[in-house]
């Protein structure tokens, strides 16, 4: 199964990028035994449009263009569902067991996503009710994908 993390905005060189890369590498290595292909992280430029709706639309179009055919879409947004790690792992197992070819995790820009893309999502995911910087959301998502892989493979990283 392919796992794509597509995000509006780039992580600059430094500790945030290093941490994101570390979790992506760990998720890829651990997920291999589960039949996951190498985790793909796609960074997209923020729109320079002046109007908020136009920015959201342009960024959503850019995100939609990287979603593979037949992919389940998971959008990260503050109004999404808060899942504990074991529940997220169970969802990933369910999609994998159902033969889902790809999962696309989408992180919009500061203004969020256009409704046309949000409405296509099979899951709206939140990391609590707080508002998080997009860079941290990406790192937290990558860590949770690694944690899910460890849960599913029986690795002791996750201690409930």
Q: How confident is the model at residue 78 (pLDDT cuts 50, 70, 90)?
A: confident
pTM for this model (two decimals): 0.95
pLDDT on residue 81? 94
pLDDT on residue 35? 94
Whether residue 20 lies inside any domain: the answer is yes
DSSP letter, residue 112: B
Q: What is the pLDDT of residues 16-56, one digit of tens each?
A: 999 999 999 999 999 999 999 999 999 999 999 999 999 99
Q: Number of structural domains, the chain?
A: 1
Whether residue 40 lies inside any domain: the answer is yes
Write out the two tokens for 99. 């033969």
pLDDT on residue 160? 61
Whether residue 23 lies inside any domain: the answer is yes
Please compute the mean of the pLDDT values over residues 80-97 and round it to a whole number: 96
- The two beta strands, 2-8 and 102-107, are parallel
DSSP letter, residue 101: -
pLDDT on residue 34? 95
Q: How confident is the model at residue 130 (pLDDT cuts 50, 70, 90)?
A: confident
Q: How confident is the model at residue 79 (pLDDT cuts 50, 70, 90)?
A: confident
Whether residue 159 lies inside any domain: the answer is no
Whether residue 19 lies inside any domain: the answer is yes
Whether residue 83 lies inside any domain: the answer is yes
Q: Where are the alpha helices (DSSP H) in 98-133?
A: 115-118
Cβ pair 113, 59 in contact under 8 A: yes
For residue 80, the domain's CATH number is 3.40.1280.10
* Range(s) of the domain holding residue 51: 2-153
Burial 56-86 (b: 16+ CB within 10 A, else e): bbbbbebbbeebeeebbbbbbbeebeebeee
Contacts of 13 (CB under 8 A, 6+ apart): none
Whether residue 10 lies inside any domain: the answer is yes
> Rounded CA gap, 17 and 22, in Å?
8
Q: What is the pLDDT of residues 54-68, one digit of tens each?
A: 999 999 999 999 999
Q: What is the pLDDT of residues 94-111, one digit of tens each?
A: 999 999 999 999 999 989
Whether residue 139 lies inside any domain: the answer is yes
What is the percentage of the chain residues whose pLDDT exceeds 90? 89
pLDDT at residue 158 is higher than 80: no
């Amino acid at each position: 199964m392919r796992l794509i993390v597509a995000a509006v905005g780039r992580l600059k060189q430094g500790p945030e990028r290093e941490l994101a890369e570390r979790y992506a590498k760990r998720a890829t290595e651990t997920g291999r035994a589960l039949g996951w292909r190498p985790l793909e992280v796609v960074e997209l430029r923020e729109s320079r449009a002046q109007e908020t709706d136009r920015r959201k639309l342009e960024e959503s179009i850019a995100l939609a263009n990287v979603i593979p055919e037949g992919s389940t879409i998971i959008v990260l947004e503050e109004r999404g569902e808060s899942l504990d790690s074991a529940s997220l792992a169970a969802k990933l197992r369910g999609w994998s067991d159902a033969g889902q070819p790809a999962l696309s995790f989408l992180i919009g820009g500061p203004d969020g996503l256009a409704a046309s893309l949000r409405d296509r999502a099979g899951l709206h995911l939140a990391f609590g009710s707080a508002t998080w910087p997009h860079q941290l959301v990406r790192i937290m998502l990558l860590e949770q994908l690694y944690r899910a892989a460890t849960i599913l493979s029986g690795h002791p990283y996750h201690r409930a």
